Amino acid sequence: MKVKIFSFRGQILFIVLILLLSGILLTRNFFIVRLNDYRDEVKDLQLEDKIWDLYKNNKDVIEKKDIAKLLSNIQEIYISGEIFQKEIGLYSIIFTSLVILITFFVFLIFFNLMTRPLRRLQKATKKVTTGDLDIQVKESNVPQVNELIVSFNSMVNELRANRDKLIQAEKDMMWREMAQVMAHEIKNPLTPIRLTVERLEQKFYHKKDDFNKIFDGSLEIIYEEIGNLERLVKQFSHFAKMPSTNFIKYDLNQQIIELVEPYKEQAKIILTLDNNLPKFYGDKFQIRQVIVNLLQNALQSIQENGKIEIITRCYNSKILLSIQDNGKGIPKENMNKIFKPYFTDKEKGTGLGLAIVKRIVQQHNGTIEVESKVGKGTKFTVKFTVVC
């Protein structure tokens, strides 16, 4: 079992309090001991015996009432010493308490002024771990701490610049790959269109009797392939015009509840949502695309008595979002291809859906994993770094 200890601030305050209390108690004890030593030294002088001896040797000169007065004064000195000792003890307790309180509060004020920039730095570090690279920490008047803050701000600026460069490099590489894929995909419907037109041209010039029949069939093929081209271009345009991210904090569970409502009539949807899930920091519109796309894939995969389970939880400083179905599953040979643009095993699919999902997840500094067994179902798990 892990033992919970004080925070760093608590440990420092505790140590200072112990040192302060020890110093005051040692000082108090020193004065009390010195006072006791003084009283013992006075008693060791045996003044009463010496006065009585002086009186016995000088009865004719010294009167007894004078001796009694001296003895009374000595007794008053002893009593005053005892009273003074008690007062020292009481006053030392009051003085100790006041000194501890005053010193503690003064130290607390200065300590808070010293640690406030460090707390801001700590919060900013946690935000950086969630992907927020626009954070900047206010500089401090404490030189040593300010150097650390300046270094942190410079590091964040450099990380943001490197992230932008990396994103641009990924975009360039993606566009090159997509240009090749797009050229290939456009070539596929153009080939039957060209062959159909050549066939029509041949039948027309040779005045074939079945021209009308062939003409109708050829038009059907041409329209079908043109429809495929239009759908391809539309999906490509949607992928290319993905808006820039607009990060905000919002309730991911509430978004899921709202999104699944229209799909409940199509399948049995089970929601297992973590009530203690922290606020999610991301682009609400883009995360909506992720959830809807994965949900629609699950709906297309399931058959009769289909079931979809959506789970959220916070684990190891990550928000986990999983969508699992009991559909037909993904063949093992296709597992490494499903996130590539234009790969699809659906008759009318464009292969851009999961590519868009992966791109959005990566923009949120997240990861997406897939587990699937043919005939048993598929599970997509998206992980976002967050402070739980």
Q: Is the predicted pLDDT of residue 347 greater than 80, yes or no?
A: no
Cα distance between residue 89 and residue 96, in whole Å = 10
Q: How high is the pLDDT of residue 65?
A: 66
Tokens encoding 265: 């009539």
Q: Is the predicted pLDDT of residue 3 greater than 50, yes or no?
A: no
8-state DSSP, 263: G
Which amino acid makes up residue 159? L
What confidence category does residue 305 fall into, taking pLDDT thresholds of 50, 70 and 90?
A: confident
Cα distance between residue 47 and residue 154, in whole Å = 80
When pLDDT is averaged across residues 210-238 and rounded to a whole number, the result is 74
Burial classification of residue 192, based on how many CB atoms lie within 10 Å of its CB (0-12 exposed, 13-18 middle, 19 or more buried) = middle
Q: How high is the pLDDT of residue 253?
A: 94
- What is the DSSP code string of 48-65? HHHHHHHHHHTTTTS-HH
**Mean pLDDT value across the chain:** 77
> pLDDT tens digit string along 363-383?
888 999 999 998 889 999 999
Cα distance between residue 121 and residue 338, in whole Å = 41
**Is residue 107 a contact partner of residue 115, using CB atoms and an 8 Å limit?**
no
Give, in order, the Cα–Cα distances in Å from 345 to each of 35, 233, 279, 386.
Answer: 97, 19, 36, 35
Provide the β-strand partners of residue 313.
Answer: 320
Higher pLDDT, 156 or 33: 156
Q: Of 94-108, 121-135, 167-181, 301-315, where does mean pLDDT reach its minimum?
A: 167-181
Q: How high is the pLDDT of residue 349?
A: 53
What confidence category does residue 310 fall into, taking pLDDT thresholds of 50, 70 and 90?
A: very high
Q: How high is the pLDDT of residue 324?
A: 93
Q: How high is the pLDDT of residue 247?
A: 85
Helix axes 284-301, 353-363, angle to 10 degrees: 140
When pLDDT is averaged across residues 150-170 and rounded to a whole number, the result is 82
**Is residue 379 a contact partner of residue 372, using CB atoms and an 8 Å limit?**
yes
> pLDDT tens digit string along 103-125?
777 777 777 777 777 788 888 88
Higher pLDDT, 203 or 288: 288
Give the highest mean pLDDT range of 75-79, 128-132, 146-150, 349-353.
146-150
Q: What is the CA radius of gyration of the chain?
A: 43
State whether residue 378 is helix, strand or coil: strand
What confidence category does residue 251 fall into, taking pLDDT thresholds of 50, 70 and 90?
A: very high
The angle at the Cα of 106, spanning 101 to 107, to the nearest 5 degrees, equals: 100
Give the highest mean pLDDT range of 183-187, 337-341, 347-351.
337-341
pTM of the model: 0.46
Q: How high is the pLDDT of residue 1?
A: 41
Instruction: Return the C-alpha torsion angle 113, 117, 122, 126, nearest 10.
Output: 130
